[in-house]
Structure 1
Amino acid sequence: MGLSEFDRRLLDCASRLPRQVGARDEMIRAELGVSSTRFFQRLNVLLDSAEALEYAPALVRRLQRVRSGRGVPGA
């Protein structure tokens, strides 16, 4: 089926997110018009998507490692 335009924009945004929570939330709202909760819910779904892996392989693999705890310092 492929990624929607929104999903591609979400992945592009995820690749540039600032670490500061306030700045991150502002960026998500300004660029995508959704809450950070909705953003991370959709991102979590996309991390299991072959289409997302094809679109942004380095980002998706890195975020999969972080999600599984293998990419988090001190985990």
Structure 2
Amino acid sequence: MERAELSERDRAVLDIAGRAFTGPGPRERAVRERLGLSPTAYFQLLNALLDDPRALEYAPGLVNRLRRERERLRDER
């Protein structure tokens, strides 16, 4: 069975996550303007995407880097 591709919104979430911003303000503005999401909703969606194999196919370097960061943060708790 063939998997559906990531939605345009999911790809946009990953694209924003992969961009470098000079601080939280510009990222929050991009999330609100491009996605129409609150920063909290954006990070919840991004976190769910990190477990999606389609996201790994779309942006392997980014997803692997963010997975490592997530694990590091969990280990620090």
Which TM-score applies when normalising by structure 2? 0.83
> What pairs with 1:9-20 in structure 2 (closer than 5 Å)?
9-20=12-23
2:56 to 53, 58, 62: 53
Identity %: 49
How big is the alpha-carbon RMSD for the aligned residues of Structure 1 and Structure 2? Answer: 1.5
For the residue of structure 2 that corresponds to 1:69, the secondary structure is helix
Q: Distance in 2 between matches of 1:23 and 1:13?
A: 11
Q: Which has the higher helix share?
A: 2
- Structure 1, unmatched stretches of 5+, are none
Aligned residues: 71
> 2: CA distance between counterparts of 1:5 and 1:23?
21
Give runs of ≥4 in structure 1 deviating > 4 Å.
none
Q: TM-score, normalised by structure 1?
A: 0.85
Which runs of 5 or more structure 2 residues have no equivalent in the other structure?
none
Q: Aligned partner of 1:56: which letter?
A: A
Contact 2:16/2:27, CA 8 A, preserved across alignment: no
Indicate the structure (1 or 2) with the bigger Cα radius of gyration.
2
Task: State how far apart, in whole Å, the 2-side matches of 1:24 and 1:9 are.
Answer: 13
